[in-house]
Structure 1
Amino acid sequence: MFIFKAFRAIDNEELCLEFLEGHWNVLKEYGVTKVTSARRDWISNPHVYVIVVIDAEEKRVVSGMRLHLAHEDYPLPMETAIAEVDKSIHCVVANYRENITGEIGGLWNSRSIAGYGIGIKFLIRCGIVLAEQLKMGTLLALCAEHTLGSCLDKGFEIEMGVGNSGKFNYPKIDLVATAAVIKDLVNLPLALAEEREEIFKLRKSLNCESVYSTSRGEMHIKYELEL
Protein backbone atom coordinates (compact mmCIF):
# COMPACT_ATOMS: atom_id res chain seq x y z
CA MET A 1 0.00 0.00 0.00
CA PHE A 2 1.10 3.55 -0.75
CA ILE A 3 0.12 6.49 1.46
CA PHE A 4 -0.31 9.88 -0.22
CA LYS A 5 0.16 12.41 2.58
CA ALA A 6 -0.30 16.18 2.21
CA PHE A 7 1.05 18.74 4.67
CA ARG A 8 2.44 22.25 4.98
CA ALA A 9 6.23 22.17 4.58
CA ILE A 10 7.04 24.08 7.76
CA ASP A 11 4.96 21.62 9.81
CA ASN A 12 7.01 18.49 9.06
CA GLU A 13 10.75 18.99 8.56
CA GLU A 14 11.50 15.26 8.80
CA LEU A 15 9.33 14.34 5.81
CA CYS A 16 10.63 17.38 3.90
CA LEU A 17 14.20 16.14 4.32
CA GLU A 18 13.21 12.65 3.13
CA PHE A 19 11.56 14.26 0.11
CA LEU A 20 14.66 16.31 -0.61
CA GLU A 21 17.01 13.34 -0.40
CA GLY A 22 14.86 11.26 -2.73
CA HIS A 23 14.51 14.09 -5.23
CA TRP A 24 18.26 14.72 -5.35
CA ASN A 25 19.02 11.05 -5.85
CA VAL A 26 16.68 10.89 -8.85
CA LEU A 27 18.09 14.08 -10.40
CA LYS A 28 21.66 12.80 -10.08
CA GLU A 29 20.69 9.59 -11.88
CA TYR A 30 19.69 11.76 -14.86
CA GLY A 31 22.81 13.94 -14.68
CA VAL A 32 20.90 17.03 -13.53
CA THR A 33 22.73 18.96 -10.81
CA LYS A 34 21.25 22.44 -11.18
CA VAL A 35 17.47 22.81 -10.98
CA THR A 36 15.50 25.39 -9.00
CA SER A 37 12.84 22.92 -7.86
CA ALA A 38 15.50 20.89 -6.00
CA ARG A 39 16.73 23.72 -3.76
CA ARG A 40 16.07 23.28 -0.05
CA ASP A 41 14.98 26.82 0.92
CA TRP A 42 11.35 25.79 0.39
CA ILE A 43 11.44 23.82 3.66
CA SER A 44 11.15 27.09 5.60
CA ASN A 45 8.74 28.76 3.16
CA PRO A 46 5.31 29.20 4.84
CA HIS A 47 3.62 29.17 1.42
CA VAL A 48 4.75 25.67 0.39
CA TYR A 49 2.72 22.48 0.69
CA VAL A 50 4.01 18.96 0.06
CA ILE A 51 2.57 15.62 -0.97
CA VAL A 52 4.78 12.63 -0.22
CA VAL A 53 4.16 9.02 -1.21
CA ILE A 54 5.13 6.58 1.51
CA ASP A 55 5.63 2.88 0.89
CA ALA A 56 3.67 1.55 3.87
CA GLU A 57 5.56 -1.75 3.96
CA GLU A 58 9.06 -0.26 3.71
CA LYS A 59 8.11 2.89 5.68
CA ARG A 60 10.01 5.22 3.37
CA VAL A 61 9.24 8.10 1.02
CA VAL A 62 9.36 6.86 -2.58
CA SER A 63 7.84 9.80 -4.48
CA GLY A 64 6.62 13.34 -3.99
CA MET A 65 5.56 16.71 -5.30
CA ARG A 66 5.28 20.26 -3.98
CA LEU A 67 2.79 23.09 -4.38
CA HIS A 68 4.10 26.64 -3.98
CA LEU A 69 1.56 29.40 -3.44
CA ALA A 70 2.60 32.56 -5.29
CA HIS A 71 3.68 35.41 -3.02
CA GLU A 72 5.51 38.60 -3.92
CA ASP A 73 8.16 37.85 -1.28
CA TYR A 74 8.65 34.23 -2.37
CA PRO A 75 9.10 33.83 -6.17
CA LEU A 76 7.80 30.58 -7.60
CA PRO A 77 10.48 28.07 -8.71
CA MET A 78 9.39 28.54 -12.33
CA GLU A 79 9.83 32.32 -11.98
CA THR A 80 13.43 31.83 -10.88
CA ALA A 81 14.06 29.31 -13.66
CA ILE A 82 12.34 31.12 -16.53
CA ALA A 83 13.45 34.64 -15.62
CA GLU A 84 16.98 33.72 -16.76
CA VAL A 85 15.70 33.67 -20.35
CA ASP A 86 12.36 35.53 -20.18
CA LYS A 87 11.66 38.06 -17.44
CA SER A 88 8.03 38.42 -18.57
CA ILE A 89 7.26 35.38 -16.40
CA HIS A 90 7.08 37.75 -13.43
CA CYS A 91 4.24 39.71 -15.06
CA VAL A 92 2.43 36.52 -15.99
CA VAL A 93 2.56 35.21 -12.42
CA ALA A 94 1.61 38.62 -10.98
CA ASN A 95 -1.53 38.68 -13.14
CA TYR A 96 -2.58 35.21 -12.03
CA ARG A 97 -1.70 36.02 -8.41
CA GLU A 98 -4.61 38.49 -8.23
CA ASN A 99 -6.94 35.47 -7.99
CA ILE A 100 -4.54 33.28 -5.94
CA THR A 101 -2.21 31.12 -7.97
CA GLY A 102 0.67 28.76 -7.39
CA GLU A 103 2.82 26.09 -8.98
CA ILE A 104 3.08 22.34 -8.68
CA GLY A 105 6.59 21.02 -9.20
CA GLY A 106 9.50 19.08 -7.79
CA LEU A 107 7.80 15.87 -8.96
CA TRP A 108 9.96 12.78 -8.61
CA ASN A 109 9.69 8.99 -8.35
CA SER A 110 12.19 6.44 -7.14
CA ARG A 111 12.95 3.74 -9.70
CA SER A 112 11.57 1.10 -7.36
CA ILE A 113 8.01 2.22 -8.13
CA ALA A 114 8.35 2.68 -11.90
CA GLY A 115 5.33 1.39 -13.78
CA TYR A 116 2.68 2.31 -11.24
CA GLY A 117 2.11 5.79 -12.67
CA ILE A 118 2.30 7.23 -9.18
CA GLY A 119 3.84 10.54 -10.17
CA ILE A 120 2.67 11.22 -13.69
CA LYS A 121 -0.89 10.07 -13.03
CA PHE A 122 -1.83 10.10 -9.35
CA LEU A 123 0.34 12.85 -7.86
CA ILE A 124 -0.65 15.44 -10.46
CA ARG A 125 -4.30 14.69 -9.68
CA CYS A 126 -3.57 15.19 -5.99
CA GLY A 127 -1.81 18.49 -6.68
CA ILE A 128 -4.94 19.79 -8.41
CA VAL A 129 -7.07 18.60 -5.48
CA LEU A 130 -4.72 20.36 -3.06
CA ALA A 131 -4.89 23.59 -5.08
CA GLU A 132 -8.68 23.64 -4.95
CA GLN A 133 -8.56 22.93 -1.21
CA LEU A 134 -6.37 26.04 -0.85
CA LYS A 135 -9.00 28.11 -2.72
CA MET A 136 -6.67 28.84 -5.63
CA GLY A 137 -8.10 30.31 -8.83
CA THR A 138 -5.37 29.07 -11.19
CA LEU A 139 -2.52 26.59 -11.09
CA LEU A 140 0.82 26.70 -12.94
CA ALA A 141 3.39 24.04 -13.80
CA LEU A 142 6.70 23.82 -15.62
CA CYS A 143 6.33 20.45 -17.32
CA ALA A 144 9.05 18.11 -18.50
CA GLU A 145 8.44 16.43 -21.86
CA HIS A 146 7.30 13.18 -20.21
CA THR A 147 4.79 14.93 -17.90
CA LEU A 148 3.26 17.46 -20.32
CA GLY A 149 0.74 15.05 -21.83
CA SER A 150 -0.52 13.96 -18.42
CA CYS A 151 -0.89 17.58 -17.33
CA LEU A 152 -2.86 18.45 -20.47
CA ASP A 153 -5.14 15.45 -19.84
CA LYS A 154 -5.93 16.86 -16.39
CA GLY A 155 -6.95 20.32 -17.58
CA PHE A 156 -3.74 22.27 -18.09
CA GLU A 157 -3.12 24.29 -21.24
CA ILE A 158 0.17 25.68 -22.52
CA GLU A 159 0.94 29.18 -21.24
CA MET A 160 1.77 30.88 -24.54
CA GLY A 161 2.73 34.22 -22.96
CA VAL A 162 6.30 33.23 -22.13
CA GLY A 163 9.26 31.60 -23.86
CA ASN A 164 8.94 30.12 -27.34
CA SER A 165 5.18 29.47 -27.29
CA GLY A 166 5.56 28.33 -23.70
CA LYS A 167 8.67 26.18 -24.24
CA PHE A 168 12.19 26.49 -22.81
CA ASN A 169 15.45 24.54 -22.76
CA TYR A 170 15.52 23.63 -19.07
CA PRO A 171 17.12 22.36 -16.85
CA LYS A 172 19.72 21.38 -19.49
CA ILE A 173 20.16 22.60 -23.07
CA ASP A 174 19.05 19.23 -24.43
CA LEU A 175 15.87 19.09 -22.33
CA VAL A 176 12.64 20.93 -23.10
CA ALA A 177 10.25 22.24 -20.45
CA THR A 178 6.82 23.75 -21.11
CA ALA A 179 4.95 26.32 -19.02
CA ALA A 180 1.33 25.29 -18.45
CA VAL A 181 -1.66 26.62 -16.53
CA ILE A 182 -5.14 25.60 -15.39
CA LYS A 183 -7.31 28.70 -15.68
CA ASP A 184 -10.47 27.23 -14.14
CA LEU A 185 -9.62 25.02 -11.18
CA VAL A 186 -13.22 24.63 -10.08
CA ASN A 187 -14.68 23.16 -13.26
CA LEU A 188 -11.59 21.84 -15.12
CA PRO A 189 -13.25 22.31 -18.53
CA LEU A 190 -10.20 21.16 -20.52
CA ALA A 191 -9.65 17.92 -18.59
CA LEU A 192 -10.50 14.52 -20.02
CA ALA A 193 -13.83 13.30 -18.64
CA GLU A 194 -12.27 10.37 -16.75
CA GLU A 195 -9.60 12.59 -15.20
CA ARG A 196 -12.17 15.19 -14.13
CA GLU A 197 -14.26 12.44 -12.53
CA GLU A 198 -11.32 11.07 -10.52
CA ILE A 199 -10.30 14.54 -9.34
CA PHE A 200 -13.86 15.41 -8.29
CA LYS A 201 -14.08 12.12 -6.34
CA LEU A 202 -10.93 13.00 -4.40
CA ARG A 203 -12.23 16.48 -3.67
CA LYS A 204 -15.27 14.95 -1.98
CA SER A 205 -13.22 12.38 -0.02
CA LEU A 206 -9.83 13.87 0.82
CA ASN A 207 -9.07 11.00 3.20
CA CYS A 208 -9.99 7.69 1.60
CA GLU A 209 -8.65 4.41 0.22
CA SER A 210 -8.83 3.11 -3.35
CA VAL A 211 -7.51 0.20 -5.41
CA TYR A 212 -6.32 0.73 -9.00
CA SER A 213 -5.18 -1.52 -11.82
CA THR A 214 -1.71 -0.71 -13.15
CA SER A 215 0.85 -2.28 -15.46
CA ARG A 216 2.40 -3.80 -12.34
CA GLY A 217 -0.86 -5.17 -11.01
CA GLU A 218 -3.25 -3.86 -8.38
CA MET A 219 -2.16 -0.85 -6.36
CA HIS A 220 -3.73 0.11 -3.05
CA ILE A 221 -3.60 3.84 -2.21
CA LYS A 222 -4.51 5.47 1.08
CA TYR A 223 -5.10 9.19 0.59
CA GLU A 224 -4.43 11.64 3.43
CA LEU A 225 -4.96 14.88 1.53
CA GLU A 226 -6.87 16.95 4.08
CA LEU A 227 -4.70 19.76 5.42
Structure 2
Amino acid sequence: MNNQLEIKIRVYKAIDNIAACKRFAEGHANVLLSYGIKQVTSSNTTWFSDPYVYVVMVESICGKNTFGGARLHLKNKEHKLPIETALEQLDSNISKLINPQLSLKTGELCGLWNTKGMSGSGLSAMLIRTGVAKAGIFISEKYNLQSIYTLSAPWTKHMVENIGFEVETSIGKNGTFAYPKPDLIATLLKLKDVNSLEKALPLEKDKILSLRVNPIQKCTEVSPIGKIEVEYDLIMNGSNIENELFN
Protein backbone atom coordinates (compact mmCIF):
# COMPACT_ATOMS: atom_id res chain seq x y z
CA MET A 1 0.00 0.00 0.00
CA ASN A 2 1.31 3.45 -0.95
CA ASN A 3 0.95 5.83 1.99
CA GLN A 4 3.10 8.52 0.41
CA LEU A 5 1.59 11.98 0.78
CA GLU A 6 0.46 13.64 -2.46
CA ILE A 7 -0.32 17.36 -2.73
CA LYS A 8 -0.87 20.10 -5.28
CA ILE A 9 0.80 23.52 -5.10
CA ARG A 10 -0.81 26.09 -7.36
CA VAL A 11 -0.51 29.81 -7.95
CA TYR A 12 -3.40 31.97 -9.09
CA LYS A 13 -4.42 35.60 -9.26
CA ALA A 14 -6.51 36.51 -6.22
CA ILE A 15 -9.21 38.49 -8.04
CA ASP A 16 -9.87 35.53 -10.35
CA ASN A 17 -10.92 33.20 -7.54
CA ILE A 18 -12.66 34.80 -4.56
CA ALA A 19 -13.98 31.45 -3.30
CA ALA A 20 -10.44 30.10 -3.01
CA CYS A 21 -9.32 33.36 -1.39
CA LYS A 22 -11.94 32.81 1.29
CA ARG A 23 -10.67 29.29 1.95
CA PHE A 24 -7.15 30.63 2.22
CA ALA A 25 -8.20 33.39 4.63
CA GLU A 26 -10.17 30.99 6.81
CA GLY A 27 -7.28 28.55 7.06
CA HIS A 28 -4.81 31.35 7.83
CA ALA A 29 -7.05 32.82 10.52
CA ASN A 30 -7.58 29.43 12.16
CA VAL A 31 -3.83 28.82 12.38
CA LEU A 32 -3.22 32.28 13.87
CA LEU A 33 -5.95 31.74 16.46
CA SER A 34 -4.39 28.42 17.45
CA TYR A 35 -1.30 30.41 18.43
CA GLY A 36 -3.31 33.06 20.28
CA ILE A 37 -2.97 35.67 17.53
CA LYS A 38 -6.25 37.39 16.74
CA GLN A 39 -5.18 39.92 14.14
CA VAL A 40 -2.24 40.61 11.86
CA THR A 41 -2.31 42.86 8.81
CA SER A 42 -1.55 40.01 6.42
CA SER A 43 -4.69 38.20 7.60
CA ASN A 44 -7.23 40.84 6.57
CA THR A 45 -9.14 40.38 3.33
CA THR A 46 -8.66 43.69 1.48
CA TRP A 47 -6.27 41.81 -0.79
CA PHE A 48 -9.22 39.96 -2.34
CA SER A 49 -9.72 42.98 -4.64
CA ASP A 50 -6.05 43.77 -5.32
CA PRO A 51 -5.17 42.82 -8.93
CA TYR A 52 -1.51 42.52 -7.96
CA VAL A 53 -1.90 39.74 -5.40
CA TYR A 54 -1.08 36.14 -6.26
CA VAL A 55 -1.96 33.24 -3.98
CA VAL A 56 0.01 30.05 -3.49
CA MET A 57 -2.36 27.29 -2.37
CA VAL A 58 -1.42 23.83 -1.10
CA GLU A 59 -4.20 21.28 -1.42
CA SER A 60 -4.92 17.59 -1.53
CA ILE A 61 -4.95 16.04 -4.99
CA CYS A 62 -8.76 15.95 -4.96
CA GLY A 63 -8.84 19.66 -4.09
CA LYS A 64 -11.12 19.25 -1.07
CA ASN A 65 -8.52 19.86 1.65
CA THR A 66 -6.34 22.94 2.02
CA PHE A 67 -3.06 22.38 3.86
CA GLY A 68 -1.46 25.80 3.65
CA GLY A 69 -0.60 28.79 1.56
CA ALA A 70 1.25 32.05 1.05
CA ARG A 71 0.69 35.26 -0.90
CA LEU A 72 2.86 37.35 -3.18
CA HIS A 73 1.88 41.04 -3.22
CA LEU A 74 3.33 43.42 -5.79
CA LYS A 75 3.72 47.02 -4.68
CA ASN A 76 1.26 49.21 -6.60
CA LYS A 77 -0.21 52.70 -6.48
CA GLU A 78 -3.59 51.64 -5.11
CA HIS A 79 -2.62 49.27 -2.29
CA LYS A 80 0.05 49.27 0.40
CA LEU A 81 2.03 46.14 1.06
CA PRO A 82 0.95 44.41 4.30
CA ILE A 83 4.32 45.20 5.90
CA GLU A 84 3.76 48.92 5.31
CA THR A 85 0.55 48.81 7.33
CA ALA A 86 2.01 46.44 9.93
CA LEU A 87 5.15 48.45 10.64
CA GLU A 88 4.23 52.09 10.05
CA GLN A 89 3.24 52.57 13.70
CA LEU A 90 6.44 50.85 14.87
CA ASP A 91 8.89 52.62 12.55
CA SER A 92 7.84 55.41 10.19
CA ASN A 93 10.93 54.76 8.06
CA ILE A 94 9.06 51.92 6.39
CA SER A 95 7.45 54.56 4.14
CA LYS A 96 10.89 55.63 2.94
CA LEU A 97 12.07 52.09 2.43
CA ILE A 98 8.99 51.12 0.40
CA ASN A 99 7.92 54.25 -1.45
CA PRO A 100 5.49 54.89 -4.35
CA GLN A 101 8.36 55.02 -6.85
CA LEU A 102 8.81 51.29 -6.31
CA SER A 103 5.43 50.43 -7.83
CA LEU A 104 5.69 47.00 -9.50
CA LYS A 105 9.43 46.95 -8.72
CA THR A 106 9.19 45.38 -5.28
CA GLY A 107 6.79 43.09 -3.47
CA GLU A 108 6.14 41.06 -0.36
CA LEU A 109 5.84 37.37 0.39
CA CYS A 110 3.39 37.12 3.28
CA GLY A 111 0.53 35.18 4.85
CA LEU A 112 2.63 32.02 5.08
CA TRP A 113 0.79 29.27 6.94
CA ASN A 114 0.18 25.56 7.10
CA THR A 115 -2.13 23.40 9.16
CA LYS A 116 -0.77 21.89 12.36
CA GLY A 117 -1.20 18.48 10.79
CA MET A 118 1.44 19.46 8.22
CA SER A 119 3.93 20.80 10.75
CA GLY A 120 7.40 19.42 10.18
CA SER A 121 6.62 18.44 6.60
CA GLY A 122 8.82 21.04 4.94
CA LEU A 123 5.73 22.65 3.45
CA SER A 124 6.77 26.18 4.48
CA ALA A 125 10.01 25.88 2.51
CA MET A 126 8.08 24.65 -0.55
CA LEU A 127 5.73 27.64 -0.29
CA ILE A 128 8.59 30.13 -0.06
CA ARG A 129 10.36 28.56 -3.05
CA THR A 130 7.16 28.68 -5.09
CA GLY A 131 6.56 32.35 -4.29
CA VAL A 132 10.09 33.31 -5.29
CA ALA A 133 9.86 31.18 -8.43
CA LYS A 134 6.66 32.97 -9.44
CA ALA A 135 8.34 36.32 -8.85
CA GLY A 136 11.03 35.33 -11.32
CA ILE A 137 8.39 34.38 -13.87
CA PHE A 138 6.92 37.88 -13.50
CA ILE A 139 10.28 39.35 -14.50
CA SER A 140 10.39 37.34 -17.70
CA GLU A 141 6.75 38.14 -18.48
CA LYS A 142 6.15 41.83 -17.82
CA TYR A 143 7.30 43.31 -14.52
CA ASN A 144 10.60 44.89 -13.53
CA LEU A 145 10.42 43.17 -10.16
CA GLN A 146 13.75 43.70 -8.44
CA SER A 147 13.21 42.73 -4.81
CA ILE A 148 10.87 40.99 -2.37
CA TYR A 149 10.40 41.65 1.34
CA THR A 150 9.09 39.28 3.97
CA LEU A 151 8.31 39.65 7.67
CA SER A 152 9.47 36.40 9.17
CA ALA A 153 8.76 34.58 12.41
CA PRO A 154 11.77 33.05 14.22
CA TRP A 155 10.89 29.55 13.00
CA THR A 156 10.86 30.53 9.30
CA LYS A 157 13.77 33.01 9.28
CA HIS A 158 16.37 30.39 8.38
CA MET A 159 14.19 29.14 5.51
CA VAL A 160 14.02 32.53 3.79
CA GLU A 161 17.73 33.12 4.44
CA ASN A 162 18.50 29.84 2.67
CA ILE A 163 16.70 31.23 -0.38
CA GLY A 164 18.79 34.42 -0.34
CA PHE A 165 16.83 36.86 1.82
CA GLU A 166 18.94 39.12 4.04
CA VAL A 167 17.92 40.99 7.19
CA GLU A 168 16.94 44.61 6.44
CA THR A 169 18.82 46.31 9.28
CA SER A 170 17.96 49.90 8.30
CA ILE A 171 14.69 49.93 10.26
CA GLY A 172 13.41 48.55 13.54
CA LYS A 173 15.95 47.16 15.99
CA ASN A 174 18.43 45.91 13.41
CA GLY A 175 15.50 44.65 11.37
CA THR A 176 13.47 43.15 14.22
CA PHE A 177 10.10 44.18 15.63
CA ALA A 178 7.87 43.11 18.50
CA TYR A 179 5.09 41.93 16.20
CA PRO A 180 2.30 40.78 16.04
CA LYS A 181 2.35 40.56 19.86
CA PRO A 182 4.77 42.11 22.37
CA ASP A 183 6.17 38.68 23.23
CA LEU A 184 6.82 37.69 19.59
CA ILE A 185 9.71 38.89 17.47
CA ALA A 186 9.44 39.29 13.69
CA THR A 187 12.35 40.02 11.37
CA LEU A 188 12.15 42.02 8.14
CA LEU A 189 14.19 40.45 5.36
CA LYS A 190 14.76 41.42 1.74
CA LEU A 191 15.60 39.40 -1.34
CA LYS A 192 17.65 41.91 -3.32
CA ASP A 193 18.17 39.89 -6.47
CA VAL A 194 14.96 38.15 -7.47
CA ASN A 195 16.36 37.17 -10.84
CA SER A 196 19.85 35.88 -10.03
CA LEU A 197 19.37 34.60 -6.45
CA GLU A 198 23.08 35.03 -5.78
CA LYS A 199 22.78 34.57 -2.00
CA ALA A 200 20.63 31.43 -2.17
CA LEU A 201 22.00 28.03 -1.23
CA PRO A 202 22.82 26.08 -4.43
CA LEU A 203 20.16 23.41 -3.80
CA GLU A 204 17.46 26.02 -3.16
CA LYS A 205 18.48 28.03 -6.21
CA ASP A 206 18.35 24.93 -8.42
CA LYS A 207 14.82 24.08 -7.23
CA ILE A 208 13.56 27.63 -7.81
CA LEU A 209 15.10 27.89 -11.27
CA SER A 210 13.59 24.52 -12.16
CA LEU A 211 10.13 25.87 -11.31
CA ARG A 212 10.75 28.98 -13.38
CA VAL A 213 11.76 26.95 -16.43
CA ASN A 214 9.04 24.32 -15.91
CA PRO A 215 6.22 26.00 -13.95
CA ILE A 216 4.01 22.94 -14.42
CA GLN A 217 5.74 19.82 -13.16
CA LYS A 218 5.54 16.82 -10.86
CA CYS A 219 8.36 15.93 -8.53
CA THR A 220 9.21 14.15 -5.31
CA GLU A 221 10.17 16.40 -2.41
CA VAL A 222 12.14 14.81 0.42
CA SER A 223 10.81 16.20 3.71
CA PRO A 224 11.43 15.51 7.41
CA ILE A 225 8.31 13.29 7.43
CA GLY A 226 9.26 11.37 4.30
CA LYS A 227 8.80 11.73 0.57
CA ILE A 228 5.98 13.93 -0.74
CA GLU A 229 4.70 13.77 -4.31
CA VAL A 230 4.02 17.34 -5.44
CA GLU A 231 2.15 18.60 -8.49
CA TYR A 232 3.24 22.19 -9.16
CA ASP A 233 1.27 24.60 -11.32
CA LEU A 234 2.51 28.19 -11.21
CA ILE A 235 0.41 29.46 -14.11
CA MET A 236 -3.03 28.01 -13.36
CA ASN A 237 -5.84 30.53 -13.84
CA GLY A 238 -8.77 31.05 -11.51
CA SER A 239 -11.47 29.65 -13.77
CA ASN A 240 -9.69 26.32 -14.08
CA ILE A 241 -9.37 26.06 -10.31
CA GLU A 242 -13.06 26.72 -9.78
CA ASN A 243 -14.05 24.20 -12.43
CA GLU A 244 -11.82 21.52 -10.94
CA LEU A 245 -13.01 22.09 -7.38
CA PHE A 246 -16.72 22.33 -7.91
CA ASN A 247 -17.52 20.15 -10.93
TM-score using structure 2 length: 0.88
Shift in alpha-carbon separation, 1:118–1:96, aligned structure 2, 3 A: farther
1:64 equivalent to 2:69? Answer: yes
Q: Which residue of 2 aligns with 1:12?
A: 17
Structure 2 contact 70–109 (Cα < 8 Å) conserved: yes
- State the number of aligned residues: 226
8 Å contact from structure 1 (residues 156, 181) kept in 2: yes
Using the aligned pairs only, state the percent identity: 35
Partner residue in 2 for 1:124? 128
Q: 1:154 maps to which residue?
A: 163
Please tell me the residue identity of whatever aligns with 2:205.
R
Instruction: Say whether the 8 Å CA contact 2:77–2:100 is kept in structure 1.
Output: no
The CA deviation at 1:58 is 6.6
Cα 1:99/1:45, change in 2 over 3 Å: closer
Counterpart-to-counterpart distance in 2, 1:141 and 1:58: 28
Name the residue aligned to 1:97. 102
Can you give the 5+ residue segments of structure 2 that lack an aligned partner in the other structure? 1-5, 140-144, 237-247
Preserved contact between residue 168 and residue 190 of structure 2 (Cα < 8 Å): yes
* Structure 1 counterpart SS, 2:182: coil
Which of 197, 204, 219 pairs up with 1:210? 219
Name the aligned partner's letter for residue 132 of structure 2.
Answer: I
Whether the aligned pair in 2 keeps the contact of 1:99 and 1:138 (CA below 8 Å) is no
Tell me the distance in 2 between the aligned counterparts of 1:42 and 1:20.
10
The one-letter code of the counterpart of 1:137 is Q
Distance 1:68 1:11 in 2: 15
1:1-227 residue pairs with structure 2 within 5 A?
A: 1-57=6-62, 59-94=64-99, 97=102, 100-119=105-124, 121-135=125-139, 136-226=145-235
| Separation of aligned partners in 2, 1:95 and 1:153 | 29
Deviations along 1:18-67, whole A, 9 cap, x unmatched? 10110010000000002000001111111111010011257221100001
Which amino acid in structure 1 is aligned with residue 73 of structure 2? H
Instruction: State the distance in 1 between where 2:70 and 2:103 align.
Output: 24
The amino acid of 1:157's aligned partner reads E
2:182 & 2:23 partners in 1: Cα distance?
29
Read off the aligned partner of 1:220 and give its amino acid letter.
Answer: E
TM-score (norm. length: structure 1) = 0.96
Query: Distance in 1 between the 2:38 and 2:123 partners?
Result: 24
In the alignment, the residues of structure 1 paired with residue 106 and residue 26 of structure 2 have an alpha-carbon distance, to the nearest angstrom, of 27
